[in-house]
Amino acid sequence: MPQTNDPPTWPGIGRLFSLGGMSECGKSHAGRYFDAHGVRRIKIGRVLAEVGRDLGLDTTAPEFTERLYAQHGDTTLLAFLERVVDEMRREGVERASLESMYRCQLATWLKGQLGERMVNIFIEAPLELPIEREWRKRPGSERESIAAEVRAKDQSKRQRGVPNLRAIADLVIDNSGSAEEYERELDRILRDFRSLSN
């Protein structure tokens, strides 16, 4: 048979949800909630570290992911999706969430590969709410110290272009209300975006 250069169709993937947003906006909450409802929770940082180790890179070095993309861009993107597909097949699932999405490059590439099977989600929450939530999780901590930590993490995310993910998102979720309201929105997403496995 003649050889073709057609891109892979990635059979077995029914839906991928990327979870992006600023610090303490609710990405982990969404990942855990989806996982409890049959959507495999996959941490993007872990998969990228596995890709980096395969390439012989020091994954503990500062700015590791920046060097990974700069030196091995196309290889990184392809290897990332291959690993996600392999993990989903091993677990016997057709839907998974990718937490935490910080790069437009990865989000747009995945959308190009998977089309409507890729759902990029951007989660929003006013800055004071993440500070308040983090403070409540750490009783005895100084609120101002926690606020400084959250602001510092947000500054790092801005430098990496995280706010730009909003413009390319398929869905923007408001997480400024209660946990119950947030989970009702997550339930709606699970209902509206079922598997599209080919």
Q: Extract the tokens encoding 60.
A: 């503990």
Q: What is the per-residue pLDDT for 72?
A: 96
Give a yes or no: residue 176 inside a domain.
yes
Q: Where are the beta strands (DSSP E) in 11-104?
A: 15-21, 40-43, 95-101
CATH, residue 184 = 3.40.50.300
SS3 169: coil
pLDDT at 75: 96
Classify residue 54: in a domain, yes or no: no
* pLDDT single digits (tens) 139-165: 888 889 999 998 999 999 999 899 999
175 in any annotated domain: yes
pLDDT band at 11 (very low <50, low <70, confident <90, very high): confident
Nearest partner of 18 among 79, 100, 84, judged by Cα? 100
Give pLDDT, residue 137.
Answer: 83
Answer yes or no: is 159 within a domain. Answer: yes
Q: Is 70 part of a structural domain of the chain?
A: no
Q: Which residue has the tokens 């939530």?
A: 133
**Would you say residue 198 has pLDDT above 50?**
no
Please tell me the pTM assigned to this model: 0.91
Q: How many domains, the chain?
A: 1
* Domain annotation covers residue 1: no
The residue assigned the tokens 């990184």 is 76
**Mean pLDDT, the chain, whole residue set:** 92
What pLDDT shows up at residue 135? 86
Give the 3-state secondary structure of residue 1: coil
CA distance 91 to 135: 35
Cβ atoms within 10 A of the Cβ of 137, count?
A: 10
CA distance 139 to 37: 30
> What pLDDT digit, counting tens, does each position of 103-122 carry?
999 999 999 999 999 999 99
Confidence of residue 167 (pLDDT cuts 50, 70, 90): very high
For residue 56, pLDDT beyond 80: yes
Checking if the pLDDT of 24 tops 70, the result is yes
- Domain-embedded: residue 48: no
Give residue 38's domain range.
15-42+95-192
Task: Give CA angle at 124 (118, 128), nearest 5°.
Answer: 155
Helix (H, G, I), strand (E, B) or coil at 55: coil
Q: Collect contacts of 134-142 with beta carbons under 8 A, ≥24 apart.
A: 134/24
Asked whether residue 134 is domain-assigned, the answer is yes
Alpha-carbon distances of 104 from 39, 125, 185, rounded to whole Å? 23, 20, 24
Instruction: Report the pLDDT value the prediction gives residue 110, as an integer from 0 to 100.
Output: 97
Check if the beta carbon of residue 57 is closer than 8 Å to that of residue 67: yes
Q: Provide the pLDDT for residue 127.
A: 85
pLDDT-derived band of residue 9, with 50, 70 and 90 as boundaries?
confident
pLDDT at 5 over 70: no
At 197, the pLDDT band (50, 70, 90 cuts) reads low
Q: Taking residues 34-38, report their average pLDDT.
A: 97
pLDDT reading at 12 higher than 80? yes
C-beta neighbour count of 72 within 10 angstroms:
17
